[in-house]
């Protein structure tokens, strides 16, 4: 009996990956999900500022993306294409919530603030003292970033935390590269008032979305896609 070699999806180009996903190759879909989950979750959070809402937006965006992934033309990277879909989904939810609140306010019904800070704790096991210190630092960072105006916050998350280039950020948000640079500069200036320079290295550890969180989301999306 011949044993078929397992395919290495990490070496495939975006166009080939998209084509396999369009053909509902389960492992190709799983690869795209696990590769992009954290970045896309952070993008959704940067707009919604709520973990549960960000996860819901991400799931909905994935379902929408995979239903039309056959139309992916490779004009940008697959990750940038997905980021744009997630951002549009999150912004759509913000607009919908604003309309809902406006309707309720007009009717004289008190509405609670829809943006709640449910900040995530790290999933890795640390010594008690180190875990407490790391959690405190993470909360300081996340609160400071959450306090940025939305137009600055999303650019900051994509550029500084996710490491997207100016061009990819511009493409994902649909704004000029010069605007990306200006908003990032202003975001940095605002954060300098709350954060010491040495905390910068800890930024990549904020908003963790890996391990069990990543696996659970991947399983839910795969289930919704019937894979």
| Same domain (yes/no): 105, 142 | no
Choose among 168, 177, 166, 173: nearest CA to 75.
168
* Per-residue model confidence as pLDDT tens digits over 29-60: 999 999 999 999 999 999 998 889 999 999 99
Segment of 100-109, 139-148, 158-167 carrying the highest mean pLDDT: 158-167
Give the position of tokens 């990549």: 204
| Same domain (yes/no): 91, 18 | yes
Give a yes or no: residue 3 inside a domain.
no
* Per-residue model confidence as pLDDT tens digits over 119-150: 333 444 445 555 666 676 777 778 888 888 98
| Same domain (yes/no): 94, 21 | yes
Residue 27, both tokens: 């492992």
Using a 10 angstrom Cβ sphere, with 0-12 exposed, 13-18 middle and 19 or more buried, the burial of residue 33 is buried
0.75 cut: is pTM over it? no
CB 29 within 8 A of CB 21: yes
Domain count, the chain: 2
CB 169 within 8 A of CB 158: yes
Residue 213, both tokens: 């969180």
| Same domain (yes/no): 200, 219 | no
* Mean local confidence (pLDDT), 71-86: 92
CA dist 172 and 76 (Å) reads 9
Domain that holds residue 102: 10-112+211-224
| Same domain (yes/no): 201, 217 | no
CATH number at residue 171: 1.10.10.10
Give a yes or no: residue 118 inside a domain.
no
CATH number at residue 57: 1.10.1740.10
Using a 10 angstrom Cβ sphere, with 0-12 exposed, 13-18 middle and 19 or more buried, the burial of residue 125 is exposed
Give a yes or no: residue 121 inside a domain.
no
| Same domain (yes/no): 100, 16 | yes
101 — phi, psi (to 5°)? -65, -35
């Amino acid at each position: 009996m011949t044993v078929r070699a397992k395919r290495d999806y990490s070496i495939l180009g975006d166009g080939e990956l998209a084509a396999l996903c369009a053909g509902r190759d389960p492992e190709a879909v799983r690869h795209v999900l696990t590769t992009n989950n954290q970045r896309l979750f952070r993008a959704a959070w940067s707009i919604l500022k709520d973990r549960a809402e960000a996860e819901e937006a991400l799931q909905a965006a994935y379902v929408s993306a995979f239903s039309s992934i056959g139309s992916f033309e490779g004009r940008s990277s697959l990750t940038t294409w997905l980021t744009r879909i997630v951002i549009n989904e999150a912004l759509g939810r913000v607009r919908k919530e604003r309309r809902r609140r406006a309707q309720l306010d007009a009717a004289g019904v008190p509405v609670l603030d829809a943006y709640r800070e449910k900040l995530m704790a790290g999933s890795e096991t640390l010594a008690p003292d180190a875990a407490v210190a790391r959690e405190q630092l993470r909360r300081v960072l996340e609160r400071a970033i959450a306090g940025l105006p939305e137009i600055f916050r999303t650019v900051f998350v994509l550029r500084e935390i996710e490491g997207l280039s100016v061009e990819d950020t511009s493409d994902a948000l649909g704004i000029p590269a010069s605007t990306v640079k200006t908003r990032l500069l202003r975001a940095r200036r605002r954060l300098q008032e709350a954060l010491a320079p040495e905390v910068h290295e800890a930024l990549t550890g904020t908003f963790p979305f890996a391990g069990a969180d990543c696996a659970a989301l991947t399983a839910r999306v795969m289930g919704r896609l019937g894979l």
